[in-house]
Amino acid sequence: MRILKLFSQSKWYWVLILVGGLALEAGALYYQYVLDEWPCVLCIHVRIWVMGFILLAILALLIRHSGWRTRVFHLINSLLMLGFVERSWQVLAVERGWVFGDCTMDAGLPAWFALDKWFPLIFEVQTSCGYTPFIIFKITMAEMLMVISISLLLLSFSLAIVSWLKPDSPHNYLQRLDKT
């Protein structure tokens, strides 16, 4: 439990979230611009959730020395991961034919948050839903997104809970962990 507590308060957790999020965004852009696999509206929503936890990780790295703020960042991150799981499930459900719904060419974003207009190279909807490409070993992007999003949600939620626990020792183990 102490290791989880230390990890929840160290910069390395937020670095992991930042690098993981950047890798997801880079992978999506690689599929879009190199392999010509255009994003649907649900894919764009997934990208927005990923961008949310990237930005939160950057903020947490800048303000990580405040105990109560770090706890709040963990809670916000858990909510972002929950949104990431929900959109990932929608992508998988549409791909498998479990749900049918509106899958338009409009991102559905309000005018005050028009990422599709401000950053069309990243957030513009370019195809309809229903298909995601294979990543590896006949595992589709939708299936991979579900595994990644659930894993990140479990990690985030676990560390959010642990971050609210009282320290178990008067020794400052966090300083030693951050110096490594």
Length of the chain counted residue by residue: 180
Under 8 Å between Cβ of 103 and 94: yes
User: Which structural domain, as residue segments, surrounds residue 142?
Assistant: 2-99+130-167
- CATH number, domain with residue 80: 1.20.1550.10
Q: How far apart are CA 33 and CA 43, in angstroms?
A: 14
What is the reported pLDDT for 21? 95
Helices 2-9 and 141-163: angle between axes, nearest 10 degrees = 100
Q: Nearest-CA neighbor of 45 among 116, 150, 99?
A: 116
Average pLDDT value over all residues in the chain = 83
> What angle (nearest 5°) sits at the alpha carbon of residue 78, between those of residues 25 and 8?
95
Asked whether residue 6 is assigned to any structural domain, the reply reads yes
Beta pairing class for 139-140 and 134-136: antiparallel
Chain centre distance of CA 102: 23
Biggest alpha carbon distance in the chain?
56
Asked whether residue 106 is assigned to any structural domain, the reply reads no
Please state the pTM of the whole predicted model.
0.83
- Read off the pLDDT of residues 36-76 as tens digits, 9 standing for 90 and up: 889 888 999 999 999 999 999 999 888 866 677 778 888 89
- What Å distances lie between residue 44 and 2, 72, 97, 113, CA to CA? 38, 26, 19, 13
- The number of folded domains in the chain is 1
- Read off the pLDDT of residues 82-112 as tens digits, 9 standing for 90 and up: 999 999 999 899 888 887 766 777 777 788 8
Structural tokens at position 52: 């949310």
